[in-house]
Structure 1
């Protein structure tokens, strides 16, 4: 069965009209090419061979994603240095305007003026933010972000945050900085990317302490991820416990396997059809008001 056929069969068996993928990357072409070059070189933040499965032009990638039955997705952008985020936000706003099935995505970086462009993004209709602690190499409690987090908390807009120490640890990765952030801003809607790998248990503990914390399944449970950062068998029961706060993410197009494998990896957990329906559609539909 082809991956297209598997995705279609998956949706049919679950009675889903589509899939909501809250962790996909659409970026300015020159930025995405540099990201791909970094993956090709197995850079220090990658640590191993990572072939890109869907290295195509933007319109081809959109057609491919929609072909899998994805009804809504994101354009995860993230800066690695100052004076980059505002420009990425403008590109992402333009992309969302010409791509109605994309959730308007924005980002930020600890720098003077961050609160200003975040306020502008919120006023323009940003529905989700992306922060990459590992790549950006900054603390989420940097004083330059205090006003930013306050704005986002008050707006109730979720933030996908790559904060786990996988695939390689950074100075500010891990559960400690996120716990400190939530102590200051307990109403934040944080979506922990990759379920916080490899600190799965610790981030599940954080989710237990804060009702606004969700987790995404980006790359989790796939053969590729399990080989390096396996999800602990003893925590499988907590996947069911947090079933209404787990959202499907794929990392498309930057994945070294087929999109169908990401879906199959969830199905083989054998957590039931209701769990799959919630993770792959219902939970995100509720979070983003998708009818």
Structure 2
């Protein structure tokens, strides 16, 4: 079996693995005015980050949805995230309304350290949210903030996975890196934490975190791609650790905000050489189990 060399080859590749499709836990659909601001940020990436970041899927929303479906992506969230107080509640309303009219979109939510965070997140869970997004770099907040203690406790109690950008790449934040989020896990060891981007560039630290905490997962978003290998290469000696943590790695892509075709993410996972069983777990089965656990919580 060969890895997919373009997007048209992705559905056949998934079928060859014996999968009905893929579950991608790191996808962004945003209100148009927010998405366009995100795209403007990436337009300036060469000045900000020292690397050009062209958006491959800079398309209207219907075309992006159609393309995900044509790839064979069965389920995906519309991950939203605030950068200041007062945003999270209306972003949650947007994301939940979007999921309500988009059957393959997982209901999702977000939060910010503010006095009403537990209240609006409780409401989002009541409305069916099964995935939550936390972006420590963009939000610029400390995950140990006392205003968030009730949020982490709530999410742990409901077994809802939190896709958390807590790594230092591609741009370090005041509270990124393994230290702050580890302190959160020490207080809430039942938290289903999904570390975005495999925690790049501190891959070893975050893989160790997954070995220490049974409910820590890592998503593959942008890892191993030619783009990322130029700036945050994954150490080859850690590939066997990925194999040992086969039940804790989940597919993430960052669609649509990626500077290469979607197929490339799957191809580089295939080329790790960890085998079809590992790929089936990562591309579908682990996320399916994690989401089923949340739905039962």
Q: Under a length normalisation based on structure 1, what TM-score does the superposition of the two structures give?
A: 0.97
Tell me the distance in 1 between the aligned counterparts of 2:231 and 2:288: 31
Distance 1:214 1:2 in 2: 27
TM-score normalised by the chain length of structure 2: 0.95
The match for 1:129 is 132
Classify 1:79/1:56 alpha carbon distance in 2 versus 1 (closer, same or farther; 3 Å): same
| C-alpha displacement of 1:196 | 0.3
Whether 1:254 and 2:257 are equivalent positions in the alignment is yes
The match for 2:45 among 35, 42, 45 is: 42
Report the alpha carbon displacement of residue 45 of structure 1 after superposing the two structures with TM. Answer: 5.9
Q: Which residue of 2 aligns with 1:65?
A: 68
SS of 2:274's partner is coil
User: What does 1:25-174 align with in structure 2 at a 5 Å threshold?
Assistant: 25-42=28-45, 46-174=49-177
For 2:81 and 2:50, the matched residues in 1 are separated by 20
Q: 1:47 to 1:86 in 2, by over 3 A?
A: farther
Question: Counterpart of 1:219?
Answer: 222
Please say if residues 222 and 265 of structure 2, whose CA atoms lie closer than 8 Å, have aligned partners that are also in contact.
Answer: yes
Shift of 1:150: 1.1
1:240 equivalenced with 2:243 (yes/no)? yes
Deviations 1:244-281 (A, max 9, x none): 11000100000000001111010011100000011001
- What secondary structure, in the 3-state scheme, does the structure 2 residue paired with 1:289 have? helix
1:287 deviates by 1.2
Q: Is the 2:25–2:76 Cα contact (8 Å) retained in structure 1?
A: yes
1:178-208 deviation digits (Å, cap 9, x = unpaired) = 1111111111000000010001100111111
C-alpha offsets along residues 25-61 of structure 1, whole Å, 9 cap, x if unaligned? 0010110011001110117764421100000111110
2:46/2:52 contact within 8 Å kept: no
Q: Which moved more, 1:37-46 or 1:236-245?
A: 37-46
Q: Distance in 2 between matches of 1:223 and 1:266?
A: 12
State the match for 1:21 in structure 2: 24
Residues paired across the two proteins, number: 290
CA–CA separation in structure 1 for the residues paired with 2:269 and 2:87: 35
**Aligned partners of 2:27 and 2:221: how far apart in 1?**
9
What is the aligned-residue RMSD (CA, Å)?
Answer: 1.3
Displacement of 1:3 after TM fit?
2.0
Instruction: Tell whether the 8 Å contact from 1:158 to 1:188 is kept in structure 2 after alignment.
Output: yes
Say if 1:272 and 1:265 are closer, same or farther in 2 by CA, change over 3 A. Answer: same
- Where does structure 2 lack aligned partners over 5 or more consecutive residues? none
Structure 1 portions without partners, runs of 5+: none
Pair 1:272 & 2:275 matched? yes
SS in 2 for 1:121: helix
Question: What are the Cα deviations for residues 120-168 of structure 1, in whole angstroms up to 9, with x where unaligned?
Answer: 1111111000000001111101111111111111111010000000012
- Change in CA separation of 1:44 and 1:127 when aligned onto 2, cut-off 3 Å: farther
Q: Does 1:288 align with 2:291?
A: yes
